[in-house]
Amino acid sequence: MNRMIGLVPLVVLAACGAKKPLDTLVDEAGPGSGEVTFLLLNDTYRLGTDAAGRGGFARLRTLRESLPGDVVVLHAGDLFGPSLLSTRYRGEQIVDVMNHLDGDGDAFDGHMFATFGNHEFDKGEPKHLPGFNSRLQESGFTWLHSNIDFAADVVGDHRATEAIVEVGGVKVGLLSVTLDSTGAAFVEGFDDPVETARERSAWLRSHGAHLVVALTHQRLQGDIELLTALGPEGPDVVFGGHEHEAITQQVGDRWIFKGDADLTSLPVVTVSVDGARKEVSHRLVDMQAEGIAPDAVVDGLVHAWVQRFKQEHCADEGKPDDCLDAAIGRTAVDLEASELVIRKHETNLGDFLTDRMLEAFAGHGAQVALLNSGSVRLNDRMPAGTDITEQHLLAMLPFSSGMRLLEVPGSTLLAALDHSVSDWTGSGHWLQVAGIAFTHIPDAPRERRVGRPTLLATGTPIEPEAIYRVVVPEFLTFVEGGQDGYTMFSPEQEVPGSREEFELKDLVIKALLDAGSEGIAPALEGRICQTGTPCLLRVD
């Protein structure tokens, strides 16, 4: 789509791909006086609402329209995928819907900015570059990439290293930071986040910015370290994503804001500027509790995309148009797949999935199964009696779900458990487990956060020198640029002759069919013992 670029309140926008300051400075800024409101969204994988009616871009449009003044909309990354529709459209659907958030699907939105999340690069092979470029060209808003060095063949008229926009008498300077976590062929590298923020903050202020904002997609600790290291040399406010959990944190006189994934809650932040003085007020908008009605135009667009996906998918499968709604099985209990739970706690769905992994390799002596929660994308709670459809499974496991059996020393297994509980802020590297139990004490010193790791089959402690057979997703071992931080695993550890080519999704389908009309009924067993949860470990 060719988009019209109208008159927008941009003071200066750095050239696409440029890493050097522009040659011409803007007019010297006065002291600056006024206020600007920011609306933050991050980690959006679903166009519409979940089963409980939470979220949805149609409600986001209504919320934006209800806020006074020229609101600056910020997207902190992860919008091309992974999602059910992105398996086919690679983010085209979400870019199209975002283009309509200003009420005009054809006009350029000078008040909306996005940065790249790690999942923007899930399709990182050279053959995927045309699609990536198409998404950038279709975007009617500005993409920031301050610390990303793209290859020369990445295009996009609305791509910039930084920008300044004037709103409410305040010149807002924007920079971005994306965590280094990709093996995309068209990304040459990532500059250091702290040094990037230092350099770009100085550049923005020298070009007249009264307020400097960083739009980031990295872990919370990275945002904290950035503000701590830079102080007044860094951004005034950080708007971030990646954790999928609403976070508000003050670091000195500076602030960090993050929202929940899939628009279930959104930070609305107003910054009042009076010379060097800046005051921040904020609220977290619950997109369901506050009764925000969906915008009719955006709601219709969302519905059209969803219906198109269903029809095209089913046609490719040679099935009726409603094939994705056909029940494969059912659940007899509430099945917990909400990201805010499954990324921080053991859940009955996590137990169910890892049990299938362990059973599949039982003939090869498997003792433990580990599954990173970030690979489970449903982000919903399925009530007892729900028919589980093909659409549920495609949304739950949108990635390739191959598995491998590894043989590793106990020290490696313990290192994996330690990594699982690190940065306990709703990260996708949190593990669901089978065949093992341990205690998790979030507030303990790091060396004591994982306690009493025990092999359930024998009731014996995990010994650092002993050898164990562990089933893991292929992603944690064999995917270049992946692994979710589990660098202790490698292809060389695979048990010879153990490879099975079926996927976890196949095992789930078989279990649903075997359960028949009674449905599956996994229980929360207490493999990960936390305060107030069941615990399989005997308490002396």
- At 238 the pLDDT is 98
- At 290 the pLDDT is 78
Q: Go through the chain and tell me how many residues it has.
A: 540
Q: Quickly state the pLDDT bin for 29 (edges 50, 70, 90).
A: very low
Q: What pLDDT, in 10s, does the model give residues 351-376?
A: 999 999 999 999 999 999 999 998 99
More confident residue, 12 or 502: 502
Q: What pLDDT, in 10s, does the model give residues 297-335?
A: 999 999 999 999 999 999 999 999 899 999 999 999 999
| Integer Cα distance of 181 and 483 in angstroms | 9
> What's the burial of 281, exposed, middle or buried (CB within 10 Å: 0-12/13-18/19+)?
exposed
Main-chain dihedrals φ then ψ at residue 472, nearest 5 degrees = -135, 160
Q: What pLDDT, in 10s, does the model give residues 440-458?
A: 999 888 888 999 999 999 9
Bridge partners of 372, per DSSP, are: 431
> Is the per-residue pLDDT at 26 higher than 50?
no
> Is the per-residue pLDDT at 388 higher than 50?
yes
Which amino acid, one-letter code, is at 33?
S
Among left, alpha and beta (phi > 0; psi -120 to 50; other), residue 193 is alpha
Bridge partners of 178, per DSSP, are: 217
> Is the per-residue pLDDT at 242 higher than 80?
yes
More confident residue, 483 or 213: 213
Q: What pLDDT, in 10s, does the model give residues 122-146?
A: 888 899 999 999 999 999 999 999 9
Q: Quickly state the pLDDT bin for 30 (edges 50, 70, 90).
A: low
pLDDT, average across residues 256-284: 94
Q: 489: which residues sit within 8 A by CB, 6+ positions away?
A: 406, 408, 412, 416, 472, 476, 477, 483
Distances (CA, A) of 41 to 55, 184, 394, 395, 396: 11, 24, 24, 21, 22
- At 387 the pLDDT is 96
- At 5 the pLDDT is 30
Percent of the chain topping pLDDT 90: 78
Q: Which of 13-27, 106-120, 301-315, 397-411 has the weakest average pLDDT?
A: 13-27
Contact 329, 513 (CB under 8 A): yes
DSSP E strands in 102-196: the ranges are: 112-115, 142-144, 148-150, 159-160, 163-167, 170-178, 187-190
Triad 13, 94, 481: Cα angle to 5° = 80
Q: Are strands 142-144 and 159-160 parallel, antiparallel or unpaired?
A: parallel
Average pLDDT score over the chain: 90
Among left, alpha and beta (phi > 0; psi -120 to 50; other), residue 497 is left
Q: Quickly state the pLDDT bin for 280 (edges 50, 70, 90).
A: very high
Q: What pLDDT, in 10s, does the model give residues 371-381?
A: 999 899 888 89
Q: Quickly state the pLDDT bin for 501 (edges 50, 70, 90).
A: confident
- At 539 the pLDDT is 54
- At 399 the pLDDT is 80
Distances (CA, A) of 352 to 23, 65, 279, 362: 59, 43, 48, 15
Domains of the chain (ranges, CATH numbers):
10-297 (3.60.21.10), 326-529 (3.90.780.10)
- At 193 the pLDDT is 97
Main-chain dihedrals φ then ψ at residue 488, nearest 5 degrees = -75, -10
pTM of the model: 0.83
pLDDT, average across residues 63-72: 94
Q: Which of 9-13, 113-117, 274-278, 432-436 has the weakest average pLDDT?
A: 9-13
Q: Quickly state the pLDDT bin for 8 (edges 50, 70, 90).
A: very low
- At 413 the pLDDT is 98
Contact 531, 439 (CB under 8 A): no
Among 79, 46, 38, 139, residue whose Cα is nearest residue 380: 46
Among the residues of 49-118, which ranges form H helices? 57-66, 86-89, 92-98
